[in-house]
Amino acid sequence: MNKNIYILGGEQTDFQRNWAKEGKSFVAMLREVVDDSLAKVDIDYAELNTLNKANDVAAFIGNFAGELYNKQGHFSAFFTEINEAFYGMPCGRYEAACASGSIALEAAINKILSNEIGLALVVGVESMKTVSPSVGGDFLGTAAYYDKEAKGLDFPFPKLFGKLADVALARYKIDETRFMDALAEISTINYANAKRNPKAQTRNWFMNKEHASKRGGEFNMDVGGRICITDCSQVTDGSASVFLASEEYAESYAKKRGISLADIPVIKSWANRIAPLTFDKKVAESKGQPYILPWTRQAVLDAYKKANLSVDDIDLFETHDCFTSSEYVAISAFGITEPGKEHEAIEEGIIDFKGIKPINPSGGLIGVGHPVGASGVRMMLDIYKQVKGVAGDYQVENTKNALMLNLGGSATTNMVFIVGRS
């Protein structure tokens, strides 16, 4: 791969907002995030319109379950509700459960690489607070094999990721206290990191290690075996977007604005691997193997290989901590430790904000929030910000390369991107 994909920037909504309470639909969310992103990258609707006339721009939207949460499909058509500059533009909606944002990113990259367009707007959006948590929990079950793994269950996903914790404990024979302490530490770190992020849903919530460790009872209920409330990501309304560009567009963009092309972060590699759908099949497939989730590991290896990088070159990670157990196994998938030794990295402070391999400086899905279809794009925006050096209070100094892992379902869709400087 010789051509670079440039990231011009983007924006996310404040994940603390409850749009249902504000009486606003996903259309308002889409309008705000697109308007804000355009302002951020210094492109206006007139420029978008000109590019559209030349058929040099397209828009991609990641959304998981609009039909359920909003009783609305065909999300890609809603770009035209925002501004007439979208009339006639190639637009598409992309869905891969919680990896919907990433699958939209991948589609945008491919369209740029095929020389069809110079500029791509990629948006992820999910408005989830339209229903109660239990109804929403049932909707989320459609990211699994609904009939076999979710139907009739309260909160099916915490239960699936609770099983992941069980398998990790059994397979690696980790001391249970140590393991549970590591999960509590993951939660604590994500909440603490989110306090530096002005767009994080939990930035004003109270959390400490003691609370995260005190499982069960009224304030930290068990929702899925070992998984309690503090181990879970949030139900979030939110949207994020980024503009991706071809080298040609990025060059002229940089020239017009008097900036150096070398200062614009690029997507160095990406990978997409799908694992067997049901959790039980995943476990059966990986029996006797070092990794419980071999396809997650494979996606990471693919991305390292394509970018000609290794874990040593990655300065920080944004991972899919839908639950503490998913972040736990990601640590070895990234190659930070051997599988089964993840707790050692946690205990040694390696993944802390100030550690040598920080994970989720943004706060992750647990701290920032998890608007399902938007999370992949939000992660891309965050690793872009880190490489560009514009992450504000949650900036990790001297970030040259950053990696994101976005999962769909019970680690069924595995998508990895590496962002760095060209």
Partner 1 sequence: MKEIKTVTILGANGSMGSGSAAILAGFGGMKVYMLARTLEKAKEGITKAVKSIRSDVIIEQMIPGTYESDLEVAIENSDWVFELLAEDYAVKESMLQKINKYKKPGTVVSTVSSGLSISRLAANLDEDGQKNYFGTHFFNPPYKLVLCELVAHPGSDSVLFKEFGGFLETKLRRVVVYTEDKPAFAGNRVGFQLMNEVAQYAKQYADKGGIALMDEILSGYTGRAMGPLATVNFVGLDVHKAIVDNLYETTNDFAHETFKMPEYFEELINAGSLGLKSKVGLYKIEKNADGSKTKFVYNIETREYDICPKFNILFIQEAKAKIGDGDYQGALDIIKNAEGFEAELCRYFLAKYISYSLSLVGEVVETKEMIDMAMGFGFNWVPASALVDLLGGVAAAKEFLKAATVEIPDLLEEAPLDQKFYQINDILDARSLFRSK
- Which residues contact partner 1 by CB under 8 A? 14, 17, 21-25, 27-32, 81, 195, 198, 204, 206, 208, 210-211, 214, 217-220
**Which residues have C-beta within 8 Å of that of residue 256, sequence separation ≥ 6?**
none
Smallest separation (angstroms) from partner 1 to the CB of 380:
21
Smallest separation (angstroms) from partner 1 to the CB of 188:
12
Contact, 363 vs 186, CB < 8 A? no
Smallest separation (angstroms) from partner 1 to the CB of 29:
7
In the complex with partner 1, which residue's Cβ is closer, 235 or 407? Answer: 235
**Which residues have C-beta within 8 Å of that of residue 54, sequence separation ≥ 6?**
none
Smallest separation (angstroms) from partner 1 to the CB of 45:
14
Pairing of strands 57-62, 91-94: parallel
Q: How far is CA 327 from the centre of its chain?
A: 12
136: three-class secondary structure by DSSP:
helix
In the complex with partner 1, which residue's Cβ is closer, 52 or 239? Answer: 239
- What the block records as the tokens of 271 is 């990978």
In the complex with partner 1, which residue's Cβ is closer, 29 or 128? Answer: 29
Smallest separation (angstroms) from partner 1 to the CB of 272:
32
Smallest separation (angstroms) from partner 1 to the CB of 28:
3
Q: What is the Cα–Cα distance from 202 to 110, expressed in whole angstroms?
A: 35
Torsion angles phi and psi, residue 152, rounded to 5:
80, 0
In the complex with partner 1, which residue's Cβ is closer, 204 or 398? Answer: 204
In the complex with partner 1, which residue's Cβ is closer, 214 or 400? Answer: 214
Other CB atoms within 10 A of residue 216 CB: 10
Pairing of strands 402-408, 316-318: parallel
Angle subtended by helix axes 324-333 and 176-194, to nearest 10: 100
In the complex with partner 1, which residue's Cβ is closer, 32 or 321? Answer: 32
